[in-house]
């Protein structure tokens, strides 16, 4: 099963090296803010470098997991520390490392509680990367919860005026999902074998046994099959993270209250965990719940439908927003709908689209939140109606903003398009009507973004904004890499899709797709 | 052919007398003498049982030990009695009842 | 033929495509330097000029020489060409030209070879964008007659507009950026033409829309441009959504978006050797029609067809060179080009729909052109109307006629726009009521615009006449013998000529003839500098000595004869391959006569109204007051959309936002509140019951211990007595229990 252990323990290093940073910052005096920031940058830089190395080292021709690290952790329950990546998780590890590095830079101006802030940020990176590399459900769960806590404090302490409300809402929502996941995890563990020795938390084994129909013969509970319960619990757990309508209401509040860098991380990475989890757990372990051998089941149709609702509903609600950050937050809801649509399609195009959308939304939404942060730093408000003519005052800012916005609204040639288009193409195979309805979302998305451009960037100059400086070097350095990624992945989407392809083929083969 | 029962009976009597003295007498000197009786009852029993269980010497050893101990105890106890007398101008053992609080 | 045997055309095409992109990048990245700010036009002019050269070269090889080499003999080469590899086909019906479009395909005995005259994929030249296993997207360059001619039109007009802009935009604070966007537009437009994949065509399609958006909104400080640009983008977004759905349908049917693969699969369907997977229980015919209609949504928006034409007149808020390049000559024609590109795909029903839309657009837009007072908007409606003609033509089966009209129109309409720009540049107004009498002051502008006007109206011997007459012929052939409704396109195409002549002469009259109505502006008027007049002259020349004439350059052929239509595969697939008959010489002559008569009527009307004023325009307005108001209000399309789509969208957004915050979020907060209530209840329970029990225990034990402490006398002897008593008790217990 685990063929070769990676002798360099690369993934472990990527995951845990920020912990060293936490320690280093812990022993740095509180008043040495610059030292702390430099340390944070260094210890998010290390995983970034290692993640790039991982990209180089990763064999893109293999479908399964690679770069294993594995040893027993709690032997009594067969809990193991198993990490490894495949084509679905490794791009997200890279994305996380990139975003975290720039999150540190974009929060360089933090003055309040610098020490705690950066320690929590580093801890967050441990949690997120840990989730992506875990191949043991228990480990996965531990990291999943580990990531929750720093986020709570980062929003709750460094956030805006309603930060406590937002933080608690975020925490409780996510915790509710985690609890269901915990129940499912334990149930799966207990069901995974007759004796203690056979039971396992290993995601590889669970997926193998699940695909062999292990969970199909569970007991009926309250009139629903066992595997359906498990599927539902896991789905809700991940749906809250994605977030899927109607579990999305934590997102706008959390985004609006969170400081810029945290919004970036939240939208750029944390939402991706949900989509990733759906693939790793729901689709891999319970393919038979979504696919009945010849076509999609009601469950898959339901997921596609929710995806459509996300697209349309998120876009419409975004259109009614007056706060820039909230608008961007709701646009994320709309964009994540395409992920659901693509996954529900269960074919190569759909899954590829969903994965591209995960990565590309990571860059484009990060860029948008950074952009909103830039203008908020100057104007100290985010009311769309109060802006105007910024394209005259801040030309460089405007150019990058247009790039981000048009990526986000899915303009071909920029990264955002491929995810949306492939998701739709994939989903069209099974759910033509749902896809038709989703195209309304495409139109409305364009509408609200253009409305924002018109009101914020176009129009006559306004005197109050005349003195605003254009992008500083630091802001420019934070934004440009994302701009480059948006263009690069727009004109060369194969950089991502080739990387993911073997794993996508493997996943799609569970649903009757021959590659 | 020994008379264990006799020795034990005498030992028990001495013990009971000692206890009785300790409980009833108010004069600290008498109380000490009661304690002395108890110790000697114990010593007697040691010797008697040592003889009874095969003429061994360990009982005798304990008896000697008890005698020495009794002497030491008497010295310390008399010292305490003197202190009590110094503190409360009496050697009535029912007077110092501060332990109750 | 050497040109096509290796990769040479690919390098030329790549140069055409990438040079403008390089120009864009150059201007975008060096916009701060002194050179780019002051001389931002130099690099763009060089790139687009080189592209023009390459395009001409490709045109020469792939249209003129190719045709001479391959289709010299009518049909005799057909059999040989049929078996020829890669580049040696697709042309046997070129010979028939306008007269035998369907006939040629039939005469060949089987369906024509779909492949391009030159495709980069035959030479291993492609760029793999993405490959999911199910969908493989290879960007390749494909060249056929359509591509080659479009390349020339686009690069030529783009070059002239670049040149023109050096003067028109001189002194603008975003001078270099203007050229950057022109370059980006040229890149996107040329990509749209060169690509061989439907999905990539869609990509470039959206990119030209983006450039249009930025160029319409170029002067974004003003009030109108931002609104107009947003309107343009949104209207197109609606069309594009339809286009995308069409692509989804095509992909579902054929499993590919590659045009030549679609073609061959379609061919298999037409031959009956393959079937299309069904959807919604529809038959193949319905499915193809629906797909065609969805795809047509894109051109409908992009080519400003009714009812999605509303954005084009507003788009005139952009700088005039942009209107000439994007909103007259090239981008709006991309819709027509796209319909031509996938012409084989359209079923007869679909084509009839296209013809209908084209007809309505041709008529409606022309009537609005009659009454508008803004010089650019009259031209915009005229563009709309002419695009309607093109669609009409394609719809009635006049493939070459429609595309030919596209080419002729590109030149004379660009000329008109640039001329209008020249006037605006000179008098600083777009309102024709403030112009007048400029004939002497701006002779070059006047003469070139007049030539273009005559071409637009279709006066014989000007380029427009050739294309328009072909359109009318096709429409007549199409509608003849069927019911009366099918004759409408033909009738309107003929009548529209008169309308066109009328409104264009009105424009010329208001602008150049008569007495100046605003003397202040008139006094400042002057002829434009050479950078602006040279493009005008070139374009006027092209409108006059039209490509419609059989000229030696084309081997004695007319251009439309080189534009052979692909076989109507969809029709064949559905068994609808009826032959429409020939537009013989008699018909052509009749059309010529009728058209001239209509033109004459139009001219007479114009003369009576504006020259002799019997009656003058006011009388007409008074007589048809209601109609006039309707037309001046643009048939209330904007109001209609504002009241329906926009309102519905905004209302939905507001309602859903309220639902989100007042219902969903309230529900979440409600759960929180309930949680708090439950918490408080538990707290109460905790204090009263749980804590109460604990306290009770404390009180109890306190009371008991208060009694019990009495035995603690502090008297040593008492303790000793207790100890001995206890020991005795234990001993007794042991004794009894043992």
Q: Does C711 touch chain B (CB under 8 A)?
A: no
Chain B interface test: which of C708, C711, C717 (most B C-beta within 10 Å): C717
Compute the residue count for chain C. 738
Give domain status of residue B17, yes or no: no
Residue of A246, A349, A392 lying closest to C132 (CB–CB): A349
Give domain status of residue B70, yes or no: yes
The CA dihedral of C339, C344, C347, C349, to the nearest 10 degrees, is 40
pLDDT for A492 equals 92
Give domain status of residue B78, yes or no: yes
DSSP readout, B11-25? HHHHHHHHHHHHHH-
Q: For residue C715, which residues of chain B lie inside 8 Å, CB to CB?
A: 93-94, 97, 100
Give domain status of residue B100, yes or no: no
Instruction: Mention every residue, 6+ apart, whose C-beta is less than 8 A from residue A361.
Output: A267, A268, A271, A272, A332, A335, A336, A339, A416, A419
pLDDT greater than 70 at residue C101: no
Output the six-digit token pair for A242.
Answer: 């994605």
8 A C-beta contact, residue C544 and residue C465: no
Question: Considering chain C, what is the average pLDDT of its residues?
Answer: 82
pLDDT for A192 equals 86
Write out pLDDT tens, residues C227-285.
999 999 999 999 999 999 999 999 988 888 888 888 888 888 888 777 777 777 788 88
Q: H or E stretch including A82?
A: strand A79-85
Write out pLDDT tens, residues C522-572.
888 888 888 889 999 999 988 876 555 555 555 556 666 666 666 667 676
Is C724–B19 a contact, with Cβ atoms under 8 angstroms apart?
yes
CA distance B99 to chain C (A): 4
User: What is the pTM (predicted TM-score) of this model?
Assistant: 0.84
pLDDT greater than 90 at residue C387: yes
CA distance C695 to chain B (A): 25
Is B98–C714 a contact, with Cβ atoms under 8 angstroms apart?
yes
Q: Which residue of B has its CA nearest to C728?
A: B16
Q: For residue B98, which residues of chain C lie inside 8 Å, CB to CB?
A: 714
For C216-263, give the secondary structure using H, E and C.
HCCCCCCCHHHHHHHHHHHHHHHHHHHHHHHHHHHHHHHCCCEHHHHH
Q: For residue C221, which residues of chain A lie inside 8 Å, CB to CB?
A: 389, 392, 458-461
Q: For residue B99, which residues of chain C lie inside 8 Å, CB to CB?
A: 714, 716
CA distance A301 to chain C (A): 16
Is C203–A515 a contact, with Cβ atoms under 8 angstroms apart?
no
Is B100–C721 a contact, with Cβ atoms under 8 angstroms apart?
no
The CA dihedral of C501, C504, C507, C508, to the nearest 10 degrees, is -80
pLDDT greater than 90 at residue B85: no
CA distance A493 to chain C (A): 6
Give domain status of residue B10, yes or no: no
Which ipTM score applies to this complex?
0.92
Query: Over pLDDT 70: what percentage of chain C?
Result: 86
pLDDT for B17 equals 92
Query: Over pLDDT 90: what percentage of chain C?
Result: 27
pLDDT for C26 equals 92
CA distance A137 to chain C (A): 29
Is C135–A425 a contact, with Cβ atoms under 8 angstroms apart?
yes
8 A C-beta contact, residue A6 and residue A67: yes
Burial letters for C412-443: b for 16+ Cβ neighbours within 10 Å, e otherwise?
A: bbbbbbbbbbbbbbbbeebebebbbbbbebbe
The stretch B5-28 carries a mean pLDDT of 88
What gap in Å lies between CA A438 and CA A432, rounded to an integer? Answer: 10
The answer to whether the bond into A246 is cis (omega within 30° of 0) is yes
pLDDT for C596 equals 82
Nearest alpha-carbon partner for A144 in A175, A103, A98, A188: A175
Q: List the domain boundaries for chain A.
A: 294-515
Higher pLDDT, B29 or C561: B29
Output the six-digit token pair for C283.
Answer: 């038959």
Nearest alpha-carbon partner for A494 in A211, A119, A87: A87
Q: Does B86 touch chain C (CB under 8 A)?
A: no
Contact call for B and A: 3+ CB–CB distances under 8 Å: no
Is C720–B97 a contact, with Cβ atoms under 8 angstroms apart?
no
pLDDT for A512 equals 82
Is A317–C251 a contact, with Cβ atoms under 8 angstroms apart?
no
The stretch C421-431 carries a mean pLDDT of 88
Helix-helix angle A114-133:A33-57, to 10 degrees:
10
Confidence of residue C127 (pLDDT cuts 50, 70, 90): confident
Write out pLDDT tens, residues C627-646.
777 777 778 888 888 888 88
Higher pLDDT, A506 or C119: A506
Chain C interface test: which of A354, A410, A412, A498 (most C C-beta within 10 Å): A412
pLDDT for B98 equals 66
Is B101–C720 a contact, with Cβ atoms under 8 angstroms apart?
no
CATH number, position B33: 1.10.287.3510
Q: How many domains does chain B have?
A: 1
Q: For residue B97, which residues of chain C lie inside 8 Å, CB to CB?
A: 713-715
pLDDT for C580 equals 54
Q: H or E stretch including A71?
A: strand A66-74
pLDDT for C111 equals 34
pLDDT greater than 50 at residue C109: no
Give domain status of residue B4, yes or no: no
Q: For residue C217, which residues of chain A lie inside 8 Å, CB to CB?
A: 458
Q: For residue C716, which residues of chain B lie inside 8 Å, CB to CB?
A: 93, 96, 99
CA distance C42 to chain A (A): 23
Give domain status of residue B6, yes or no: no
pLDDT for A408 equals 92
What gap in Å lies between CA C738 and CA C730, rounded to an integer? Answer: 12
Is C222–A454 a contact, with Cβ atoms under 8 angstroms apart?
no
Alpha helices in A27-62 (DSSP H): 33-57
What chains are in contact with A, requiring at least 3 Cβ pairs below 8 Å?
C
pLDDT for C437 equals 82
Is C724–B23 a contact, with Cβ atoms under 8 angstroms apart?
yes
CA distance A40 to chain C (A): 32
8 A C-beta contact, residue A343 and residue A354: yes
Q: For residue B94, which residues of chain C lie inside 8 Å, CB to CB?
A: 715, 717
Q: Pairing relation of β-strands C118-119 and C142-143?
A: antiparallel
Residue of B23, B24, B97 lying closest to C714 (CB–CB): B97
CA distance B97 to chain C (A): 4
The stretch C505-534 carries a mean pLDDT of 84
Residue of C132, C226, C248 lying closest to A435 (CB–CB): C248
Residue contacts between A and C (CB atoms, under 8 Å): 151
Domain containing residue B56: 26-94
pLDDT greater than 50 at residue C301: yes
Q: H or E stretch including C357?
A: helix C348-371
Chain B interface test: which of C708, C719, C720, C727 (most B C-beta within 10 Å): C720
pLDDT for C335 equals 92
Q: Does C721 touch chain B (CB under 8 A)?
A: yes
Q: Does A323 touch chain C (CB under 8 A)?
A: no
pLDDT for C85 equals 35
Instruction: Mention every residue, 6+ apart, whose C-beta is less than 8 A from residue C286.
Output: none
Q: Report the SS3 class of residue A202.
A: strand
Q: Which residue of C has its CA nearest to A249?
A: C665
pLDDT for C66 equals 66
Is C717–B97 a contact, with Cβ atoms under 8 angstroms apart?
no
The DSSP output letter for C273 is S
Higher pLDDT, C507 or C113: C507
Higher pLDDT, C467 or C354: C354
Task: Please give the average pLDDT of every successive group of 10 residues along chain A, which has 515 residues.
Answer: 76 92 91 90 94 91 87 87 91 94 90 90 94 93 91 90 88 89 91 86 90 82 87 93 88 90 92 92 90 89 94 93 92 93 92 94 93 90 88 89 93 91 92 92 92 90 83 90 93 92 91 78
Is A504–C132 a contact, with Cβ atoms under 8 angstroms apart?
yes
Give domain status of residue B37, yes or no: yes
Q: Which residue of C has its CA nearest to B25?
A: C717
Nearest alpha-carbon partner for A142 in A131, A129, A154, A156: A131
Residue of C199, C241, C665 lying closest to A249 (CB–CB): C665
């Amino acid at each position: 099963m685990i063929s070769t252990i990676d002798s360099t323990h690369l993934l472990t290093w990527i995951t845990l090296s920020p912990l060293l940073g936490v320690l280093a910052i812990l022993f740095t005096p509180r008043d040495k803010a610059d030292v702390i920031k430099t340390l944070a940058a260094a210890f998010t830089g290390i995983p970034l470098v290692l993640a790039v190395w991982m990209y180089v080292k990763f064999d893109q021709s293999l479908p399964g997991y690679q770069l294993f690290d594995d040893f027993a952790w709690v032997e009594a329950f067969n809990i193991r520390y198993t990490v490894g990546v495949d084509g679905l998780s490794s791009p997200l590890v890279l994305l996380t490392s990139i975003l975290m590095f720039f999150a540190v830079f974009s929060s360089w101006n933090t003055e309040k509680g610098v020490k705690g802030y950066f320690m929590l940020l580093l801890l967050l990176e441990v949690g997120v990367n840990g989730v992506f590399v875990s191949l043991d459900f228990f480990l996965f769960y531990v990291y999943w919860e580990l990531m929750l806590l720093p986020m709570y404090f980062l929003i709750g302490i460094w956030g805006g005026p309603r930060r406590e409300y937002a933080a608690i809402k975020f925490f409780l929502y996510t915790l509710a999902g985690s609890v269901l996941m915990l129940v499912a995890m334990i149930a799966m563990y207990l069901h995974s074998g007759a004796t203690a020795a056979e039971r396992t938390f290993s995601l590889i084994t669970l997926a193998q046994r699940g695909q062999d129909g292990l969970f199909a013969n569970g007991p009926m509970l309250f009139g629903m099959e066992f595997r359906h319960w498990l599927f539902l619990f896991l789905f809700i757990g991940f749906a809250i993270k994605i977030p899927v309508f109607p579990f999305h209401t934590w997102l706008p509040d959390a985004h609006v209250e969170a400081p810029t860098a945290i919004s970036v991380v939240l939208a750029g990475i944390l939402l991706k965990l949900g989509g990733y989890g759906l693939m790793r757990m729901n689709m891999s372990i319970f393919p038979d719940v979504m696919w009945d051998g010849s076509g999609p089941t009601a469950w898959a149709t339901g997921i596609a439908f929710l995806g459509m609702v996300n697209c349309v509903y998120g876009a419409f609600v975004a259109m009614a927003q007056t706060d820039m950050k909230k608008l961007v937050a709701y646009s994320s809801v709309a964009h994540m709908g395409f992920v659901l649509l693509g996954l529900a399609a269960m074919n190569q195009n759909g899954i590829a689209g969903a994965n591209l959308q995960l990565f590309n939304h990571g860059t484009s939404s990060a860029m948008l939140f950074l952009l909103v942060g830039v203008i908020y730093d100057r104007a100290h408000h985010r009311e769309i109606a109060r802006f105007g003519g910024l394209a005259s005052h801040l030309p460089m800012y405007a150019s990058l903003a247009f790039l981000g916005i048009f990526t986000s609204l899915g303009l071909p040639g920029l990264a955002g398009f491929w995810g949306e288009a492939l998701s739709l193409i994939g989903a069209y195979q099974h759910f033509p009507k749902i896809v038709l309805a989703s195209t309304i979302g495409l139109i409305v998305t364009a509408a609200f973004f253009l409305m924002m451009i018109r009101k914020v960037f176009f129009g006559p100059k306004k005197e109050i904004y005349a003195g605003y400086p254009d992008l500083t070097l630091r802001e420019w350095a934070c934004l440009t890499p994302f701009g480059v990624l948006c263009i690069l992945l727009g004109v060369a989407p194969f950089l991502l899709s080739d990387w993911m392809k073997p794993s996508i083929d493997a996943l799609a083969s569970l649903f009757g797709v021959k590659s | 052919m020994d008379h264990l029962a006799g020795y034990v009976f005498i030992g028990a009597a001495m013990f009971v007398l000692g206890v009785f003295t300790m409980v009833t007498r108010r004069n600290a000197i008498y109380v000490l003498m009661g304690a002395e009786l108890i110790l000697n009852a114990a010593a007697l029993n040691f010797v008697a049982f040592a003889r009874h269980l095969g003429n061994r010497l360990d009982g005798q050893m304990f008896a000697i030990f008890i005698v020495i101990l009794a002497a030491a105890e008497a010295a310390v106890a008399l010292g305490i009695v003197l202190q009590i007398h110094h503190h409360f101008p009496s050697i009535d053992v029912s007077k110092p009842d501060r332990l109750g609080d | 033929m050497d040109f096509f045997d290796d990769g040479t055309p690919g390098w030329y095409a790549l140069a055409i495509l990438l040079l403008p992109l390089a120009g864009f990048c150059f201007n975008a990245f060096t916009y701060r330097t002194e050179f780019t700010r002051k001389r931002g036009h130099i690099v763009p002019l060089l790139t687009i000029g080189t592209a023009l050269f390459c395009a001409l070269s490709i045109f020469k090889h792939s249209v003129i020489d190719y045709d001479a080499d391959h289709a010299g003999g009518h049909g005799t080469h057909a059999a040989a060409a049929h078996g020829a590899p890669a580049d040696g086909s697709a042309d046997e019906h070129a010979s028939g030209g306008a007269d035998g479009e369907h006939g040629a395909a039939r005469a060949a005995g089987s369906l024509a070879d779909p492949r391009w005259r030159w495709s980069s994929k035959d030479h291993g030249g492609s760029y793999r964008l993405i490959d999911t296993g199910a969908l493989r997207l290879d960007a390749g360059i494909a060249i056929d007659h359509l591509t080659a001619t479009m390349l020339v039109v686009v690069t030529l007009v783009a070059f002239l507009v670049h040149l023109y802009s050096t003067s028109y935009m001189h002194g603008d604070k975003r001078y270099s950026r203007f050229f950057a966007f022109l370059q980006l537009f040229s890149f996107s437009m040329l990509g749209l033409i060169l690509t061989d994949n439907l999905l990539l065509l869609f990509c470039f399609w959206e990119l030209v829309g983006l450039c249009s958006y930025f160029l319409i909104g170029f002067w974004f400080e003003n009030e109108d441009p931002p609104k107009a640009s947003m309107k343009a983008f949104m209207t197109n977004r609606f069309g594009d959504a339809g286009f995308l759905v069409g692509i989804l349908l095509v992909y579902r049917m054929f499993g590919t978006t590659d045009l030549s693969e679609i073609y061959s699969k379609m061919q298999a369907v037409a031959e009956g050797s393959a079937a299309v997977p069904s959807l919604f229980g529809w038959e193949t015919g319905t499915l193809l029609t629906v797909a065609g209609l969805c795809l047509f949504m894109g051109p409908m928006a992009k080519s400003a067809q009714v009812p999605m034409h509303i954005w084009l007149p507003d788009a005139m808020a952009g700088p005039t060179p942009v209107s000439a390049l994007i909103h007259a000559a090239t981008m709006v024609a991309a819709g027509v080009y796209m319909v031509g590109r996938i012409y084989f795909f359209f079923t007869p029903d679909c084509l009839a729909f296209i013809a209908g839309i084209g007809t309505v657009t041709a008529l409606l837009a022309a009537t609005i052109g009659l009454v508008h007072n803004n010089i650019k908007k009259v031209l915009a409606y005229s563009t709309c109307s002419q695009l309607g003609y093109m669609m009409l033509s394609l719809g009635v089966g006049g493939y070459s006629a429609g595309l030919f009209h596209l080419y002729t129109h590109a030149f004379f309409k660009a000329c008109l726009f640039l001329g209008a720009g020249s006037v605006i540049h000179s008098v600083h107004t777009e309102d024709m009521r403030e112009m007048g009498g400029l004939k002497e002051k701006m002779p070059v502008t006047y003469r070139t615009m007049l030539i273009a006007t005559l071409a637009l109206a279709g006066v014989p011997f000007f380029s427009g006449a050739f294309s328009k007459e072909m359109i009318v012929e096709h429409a007549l052939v199409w509608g003849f013998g069927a019911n009366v409704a099918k004759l409408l396109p033909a009738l309107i195409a003929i009548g529209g000529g008169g309308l066109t002549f009328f409104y264009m002469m009105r424009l010329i009259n208001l602008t150049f003839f008569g007495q100046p109505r605003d003397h202040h502006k008139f006094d400042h008027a002057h002829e434009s500098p050479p950078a602006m007049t040279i493009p005008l002259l070139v374009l006027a020349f092209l409108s006059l000595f039209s490509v419609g004439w059989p000229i030696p350059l084309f081997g004695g052929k007319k251009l439309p004869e080189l534009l052979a239509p692909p076989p109507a595969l969809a029709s064949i697939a559905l068994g609808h391959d009826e032959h429409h008959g020939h537009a013989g010489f008699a018909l052509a002559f009749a059309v010529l006569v009728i058209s001239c008569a209509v033109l004459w009527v139009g001219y007479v009307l114009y003369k009576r109204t504006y020259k002799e004023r019997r009656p003058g325009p006011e009388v007409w307005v008074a007589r048809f007051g209601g109609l006039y108001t309707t037309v001046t209000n643009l048939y209330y399309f904007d109001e209609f959309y504002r009241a329906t789509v926009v309102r519905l969208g905004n209302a939905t957004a507001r309602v859903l936002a309220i639902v989100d915050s007042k219902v969903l979020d309230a529900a979440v907060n409600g759960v929180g509140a309930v949680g708090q209530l439950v918490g408080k209840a538990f707290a109460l329970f905790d204090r009263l019951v749980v804590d109460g029990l604990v306290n009770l225990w404390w009180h109890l034990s306190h009371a008991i211990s208060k009694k019990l402490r009495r035995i603690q006398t502090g008297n040593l002897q008492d303790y000793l007595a207790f100890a001995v008593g206890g020991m005795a008790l234990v001993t007794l217990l042991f004794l009894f229990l043992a």
